[in-house]
Structure 1
Amino acid sequence: MRRRTLLTAGGALLGTGALTAAGWPLLSDYAREGRPGKVLTSKAPLPAPFRTPLPVPRVLRPTSTSATTDTYDITQQHAELEILPGLRTKAWTYGGTFPGPTIVSRSGRRTVVRHRNELDHPSVVHLHGGHTPAASDGYPTSLILPANGTYDAQRVHQDMNSGPHGASMAHHAMDLAEATRTYTYPFDQRAATLWYHDHRMGYTGAAVWMGLAGFHLVHDDEEQRLPLPQGDRDIPLMIADRSFAADGSFQYPWLDPQLHTPGVTDPYMNGVLGDVILVNGAPWPVHQTQRLRYRLRLLNASNARTYRLQLDPQPPGGNALVQIGSDGGLLDSPRAHDTLDIAPAERYDVVIDFSRYRPGTRVRLLNLHGDGSTAQVMRFDIASGSPRDDTTVPDRLSTVPPLDPTRAAVTRDFHFTGSDAGWTINGTAYQPGRALARPTLGQTEIWRFTTNFHHPVHLHLNHFQVLSRNNREIGPQDHGWKDTVDLRPAEAVEVVTRFTDYAGTYMLHCHNLEHEDMAMMADYTTQ
């Protein structure tokens, strides 16, 4: 299908029949639920699952500390990694690894991160879920230019303005930093599982696919007082699908492999799906656990793939996945699930009690939205013995005061759709510097998202609470503070938020990264 035809058809893709009629070669579960994307099949031989031990990203040490501030340095650099056994994968990395190193911060204590760009192209860093001043939020044209001097303002402007994705630079003045940019995070926010990733306009999907993503964890006193699993039983899991060329390199359907024109080729503009599931950069890894409780920090870092996670076998009585946190930190009380749906950029902190299994049990983490190689994620092998477990999941985790929607000063509507104009919000392709909303700091607002297709919607600066889906009750995983909400076809989701602390320009966008790169973003300005 040509780009224009595909976008027009996308507006009507609300069910399996429409998907089939439109010619989309989608996975069966994706077709049944109107999920986006097209699989890019690997040319490299795929390894057998559950052979690679689960890697845990290293924790980055600060370069310096003071009474109020921890400072870190990260170099963005090319690296060759062994992801598939026996093959080398050229990656774009934070600090030479994929995922990048994990930064651990304390609520109320400032973190400063200096990023140096030794890649061959500009970059932007966004702390996803951070309550962050605008200057450090990672606006998509606030670029770090490569240290090798190959880019100037004219070339950057030309590259960003040359694609058929619908976005326009117009006369927007870019914020360019030579080689290095410093990001300041006050962390006046709750403990939460955050992550950082590239956010360059028009090129986010390619950059994240190539490896520019890492965890940033925030702790606070409230969380520390709880008897939850800690140390090596508190494990961040970055789940991401990828596709590999015959030589082991990352395979991505660039519209222009030279990176002078943003976007992907026509068949993949609705999202790129890989056929290899990586967890912390390893294909279908295995992790040996004791018969104890573990806290797993689940992050969907895929460009477009959604997952429905389930343990196999289920423990006696089910309810294996005890959710204790969401995007914005702890829930008020735990919620037990047999399955968890997680869209791109969403995070769920869950506790699994492996003592409910017999010693020697091999427990797979399945993806019920997948087929073939994408139907399973990783495996946990339960060790023998019955060690004493001094952890528990309290009935009360935190206080999450509900925002009162009756106090909302305004209700705003944002319609996410595909059309001849591209992937748009309110019928408008993204243009930097054009704000679709101007909320006042301290003001509570209701934002209503509607769609004619599937979009995970992400809001920068402030977290929100989900009020309703299609004027009905919220979903079982909509509780707590969120920064990304999974918006399904022909659905209206209402959220309530209060804008606080920082004036400036922020982003609202779809976190299907191919949709984002093809103009499904909008500015809003707090004042």
Structure 2
Amino acid sequence: MNRRSGPAVSRRGFLALTGGLGLVVLGGSGCASVFGENAGALLRSDLPLPEPFRVGLPIPAIAEPVRSEDGTDYYELVQRAAAQEIVPGTTTTIWGFDGTFPGPTFRVRAGQRSVVTLRNELPVPTSTHLHGGVTPPDSDGYATDLVVPADYPHDPRRHSHDVMQVPPEAWTLHEEVKEHEYPLEQRAATLWYHDHRMDFSAPQVWRGLLGAFLLHDDEEDALGLPSGDKDVPLLICDRAFGADGEFKYPSLDATLTSVPGVEPDYHSGVQGDVVLVNGAPWPVLEVANTKYRFRLVNASNARRYRFGLSPAPENGPAFVQIGTDQGLLAAPVDRDEFDAAPAERFDVVIDFSAYPVGTQVVLENLLGEEGTRQVMRFDVVREEADETEIPERLSEIERLTRDEAVAERDFDFRLTTVNGHQTWTINGEPFDPMSNMATPALDTVELWRFTSDFHHPVHIHLAHFQVLTRNGAEPEPAEQGWKDTVDVRPYEVLEVLVRFSGFRGRYLVHCHNLEHEDMAMMVNFEVV
């Protein structure tokens, strides 16, 4: 059975749920229809696109600690440019962790304190965020906490945004190197890491600054789920390429040193015409006729996906979802298709015993057109014994209740005119790094209400949450686990119960459509 998350709501119903806040959707260049499933105009490549299913699925290298002492694992990563063959027969300059796109995959035990030292050898400043991590504020990858490369010829605090003012005291600068502390006192989950630089997250992630970070624990190990080479991270994103094979992106400033933002046609979000999985276009993975666990990460800047399989299995679901952003669900959920907004993660099992050996199974994007309709292909090439299972119960999850909330807050995500410029705002305000929109107390729960004029994947740093209602209704089973990112759809009202645990300090809430984020759709909260 396919379980979709929540009923649709009309504009009239939306206004009723929000108490008639008078929300509007402004027209103008770059503002896509609020009812569309895609962000806006398609960015087309200038070179002939490769034929799908001609390259194998790359598996990123595993990050290894350089040393371990006193209960801490120490890692070192270098952010640098490198030439990588993405489109067969051409080379692309990527910006990558250790010079690879995606960067190395971390596989770490929950609770294993890890310290990651990052050296920036790129031509621009960076900030690195462990997405989904319960992380001290000075290691969280705050947007103005920058690692500046050696001999950088510009003032890294230079800021020329039309609607935001960022004073010099808002910036924290590190020369070449920064150490990140990750206590990882949290349950097993599929996390990922990526660039988070103020004004330029979108183009820097587009160039390759991302990777998977997988946490394991004893609870998960005891379930007998597929493991080893049958536990596969899939970082899925879309890109476009110039005629020379280089990444194509509509930046106003291609050097990423001064003027932020994109050309007007792409204000709603940049979507490319090539789908990449683990950095390869429409790849193929050869599989046995057994169960595989796939950790799907929507690592796209703005594209939403609706995943399905073709052919669908004759018996049983296409996918069994076992986890979401922050780890295992309470029980598995059968899915024939599911939507994934940018930065959301879906932990699913596909049972290839439903297909005869020799079958080719395509992972499709049912929201895509032309080449973006296909994602990758699984070729069932051999028989193997399968001793794995999916238990009827996966985890005991404490369900938060409305009564536990000590405060309620509203966050309205929409396009607004500020100083004569259309920009993406929260509660009508562009980002101000010197102010806080909320000050929750440590170890409390608050009810946050999200409203929207567009598709906005909302991400909360540090704090994890549970969806309480979507348009006044209880969320579907697949959305009842712990999350850190949620798709707020046009004219929807979403209530989430947010638990603030781990650390005091300043953190961010923002839209994870990265073009929206770069155009000021962020706010601070401070845990006190």
TM-score, normalised via structure 1 length: 0.93
State how far apart, in whole Å, the 1-side matches of 2:29 and 2:247 are: 26
State how far apart, in whole Å, the 2-side matches of 1:515 and 1:11 are: 17
State how far apart, in whole Å, the 1-side matches of 2:70 and 2:216 are: 17
Question: 2:309 maps to what in 1?
Answer: 311
Equivalent pair of 1:37/1:305 in contact (CA under 8 Å)? no
Question: 2:321 maps to what in 1?
Answer: 323
Equivalent pair of 2:305/2:339 in contact (CA under 8 Å)? yes
State how far apart, in whole Å, the 1-side matches of 2:354 and 2:323 are: 21
1:156 matched to 2:156? The reply is yes
Question: 2:218 maps to what in 1?
Answer: 221
Question: 1:202 maps to what in 2?
Answer: 199
Equivalent pair of 1:89/1:250 in contact (CA under 8 Å)? yes
State how far apart, in whole Å, the 1-side matches of 2:487 and 2:431 are: 21
State how far apart, in whole Å, the 1-side matches of 2:29 and 2:268 are: 13
State how far apart, in whole Å, the 2-side matches of 1:324 and 1:62 are: 29
Equivalent pair of 1:193/1:215 in contact (CA under 8 Å)? yes
Moved more, 60-69 or 389-398: 60-69
State how far apart, in whole Å, the 2-side matches of 1:274 and 1:48 are: 16
Question: 1:468 maps to what in 2?
Answer: 469
Question: 1:272 maps to what in 2?
Answer: 270
Letter of the 2:305 partner, please give it.
Y
Equivalent residue pairs, number:
501
Partner SS state of residue 477, structure 1:
helix
Letter of the 1:243 partner, please give it.
A
Partner SS state of residue 514, structure 1:
helix
Question: 2:250 maps to what in 1?
Answer: 253
1:497 matched to 2:510? The reply is no
- After superposition, residues 9-28 of structure 1 pair within 5 angstroms as 11-12=24-25
Equivalent pair of 2:231/2:293 in contact (CA under 8 Å)? yes
Distance 1:395 1:363, change over 3 A: same
Deviation for aligned residue 1:476: 5.0
Partner SS state of residue 479, structure 2:
coil
Question: 1:7 maps to what in 2?
Answer: none
Distance 1:40 1:476, change over 3 A: farther
1:387-427 superposed Cα distances (whole Å, 9 cap, x missing partner): 21010000011111011221211110000010112211011
Moved more, 391-400 or 33-42: 33-42
Letter of the 1:156 partner, please give it.
P
Letter of the 1:150 partner, please give it.
Y
Letter of the 2:485 partner, please give it.
T
Counterpart among 384, 400, 409 of residue 403 in structure 1: 400
Partner SS state of residue 222, structure 1:
helix
Question: 1:370 maps to what in 2?
Answer: 368
Deviation for aligned residue 1:44: 1.1
Question: 1:144 maps to what in 2?
Answer: 147
Question: 1:88 maps to what in 2?
Answer: 91
1:110 matched to 2:113? The reply is yes
State how far apart, in whole Å, the 2-side matches of 1:263 and 1:11 are: 23
Distance 1:24 1:522, change over 3 A: closer
1:234 matched to 2:218? The reply is no
Deviation for aligned residue 1:115: 0.2
Deviation for aligned residue 1:453: 1.4
State how far apart, in whole Å, the 2-side matches of 1:447 and 1:25 are: 26
Question: 2:5 maps to what in 1?
Answer: none
Question: 1:514 maps to what in 2?
Answer: 515
Distance 1:516 1:11, change over 3 A: farther
Question: 1:5 maps to what in 2?
Answer: none
Question: 2:346 maps to what in 1?
Answer: 348
CA RMSD of aligned residues (A): 1.6
Counterpart among 42, 47, 70 of residue 45 in structure 2: 42
1:295 matched to 2:293? The reply is yes
Deviation for aligned residue 1:479: 1.9
1:183 matched to 2:180? The reply is yes
State how far apart, in whole Å, the 2-side matches of 1:168 and 1:34 are: 32
State how far apart, in whole Å, the 2-side matches of 1:347 and 1:370 are: 19
Equivalent pair of 1:507/1:521 in contact (CA under 8 Å)? yes
State how far apart, in whole Å, the 2-side matches of 1:37 and 1:142 are: 31
Deviation for aligned residue 1:344: 0.2
Partner SS state of residue 220, structure 2:
helix
Letter of the 2:509 partner, please give it.
L
Question: 1:339 maps to what in 2?
Answer: 337
Equivalent pair of 2:442/2:500 in contact (CA under 8 Å)? yes
1:117-151 superposed Cα distances (whole Å, 9 cap, x missing partner): 0000000000000011111101001100003x215
Equivalent pair of 2:30/2:267 in contact (CA under 8 Å)? no
Q: Structure 1 vs Structure 2: percent identity of aligned residues?
A: 50
Deviation for aligned residue 1:473: 2.2
Equivalent pair of 1:291/1:384 in contact (CA under 8 Å)? yes
State how far apart, in whole Å, the 2-side matches of 1:439 and 1:229 are: 39
State how far apart, in whole Å, the 1-side matches of 2:477 and 2:455 are: 18
Partner SS state of residue 383, structure 1:
strand
Partner SS state of residue 242, structure 1:
strand
Question: 1:66 maps to what in 2?
Answer: 69
State how far apart, in whole Å, the 2-side matches of 1:173 and 1:243 are: 34
State how far apart, in whole Å, the 2-side matches of 1:56 and 1:151 are: 37
TM-score, normalised via structure 2 length: 0.93
State how far apart, in whole Å, the 2-side matches of 1:358 and 1:25 are: 46
Distance 1:500 1:187, change over 3 A: same
